[in-house]
Amino acid sequence: MIYTILLLGSKGQLGNSILSVATEKNFKHSFICKDIETLDITKKEAISRFLSEQKVDIIINCAAYTAVDQAEDEAALAYLVNETAVFHLAEIAREKDIYLFHISTDYVFDGTSSVPYQPEDATTPTSVYGKSKLAGEQAMTGSGCHGNVIRTSWLYSPFGHNFVKTILRIGKERSEINVVNDQYGSPTNACDLAMAILTLIDKGNFNTGTEIYHFSNRGIITWHEFAQEIIRLANYDTLVHPISSAEYPTKAKRPHYSAFDLRKIENTLGYSIPEWKESLREIVEKLV
């Protein structure tokens, strides 16, 4: 079946990746692409007006306030985008029987685990960003709408700003860089996440109520290991030195450990998610 999909945050990493993968893999769905400039989802009347004029089957909400450190000083704005807007989308999706995909984050966890987080594990965010994203999840799960919350981590792509592009840029400019080696998690190629979302849609995997999934590439590493592999794939001679989080202080606290248990989404998708090095190579080859 061909669906009309409203893609919010279409100019961001995941939005661009969804459009790219849909074209490359010949998914036939029709996309309506919107960003804050053309549809202000923090205003319920704007969403209602648009959806009264345009028939939509599915909403994919990739829009978010993602400036993790800046959120500590702009809490009101972070909550407006990450909670209030989601509340409006979920309410209207329920009223109009639209299926909602909403993207969330590993920052909803405090990072004190030593084993991969399952979707049902207790959420205890420590940053404003994480708290605002959790509030958005709760707004959706409490709305009665039908949809999926998909948490992801360490997202990168050929688009926008991300860790991979930053390391490639500074690795080309410098002979040595320092990267933290005591934060553990899993990178996510946004194209792999896009493929998963489109696969869920094509499989007709539409839940009643809201289901929470975890998605990242396979493998648990540190940011230092991630940077080393980026430099290696780019064939740069840059030395990557490991440092502690204490040596690289940030305004917002990062999770020490935020790897995901992927079994639930893999069982639903019906395939194994690619390993992180394999997926990273595809992106680095496009960027260098």
Determine the length of the chain: 288
Q: Which of 129, 184, 236, 257 is catalytic?
A: 129
Is 271 catalytic? The answer is: no
* Amino acid found at 167: I
Q: Which residues of 96-135 are buried (b: 16+ CB within 10 A; e: fewer)?
A: bebbbbbbbbbbbbbbebeebbebeeebebbbbbbbbbbb
Q: Is the dihedral of CA 116, 70, 83, 13 positive or negative?
A: negative
Residues 6+ apart with CB under 8 A from 175: 237, 238, 239
What are the residue numbers of the active site? 129
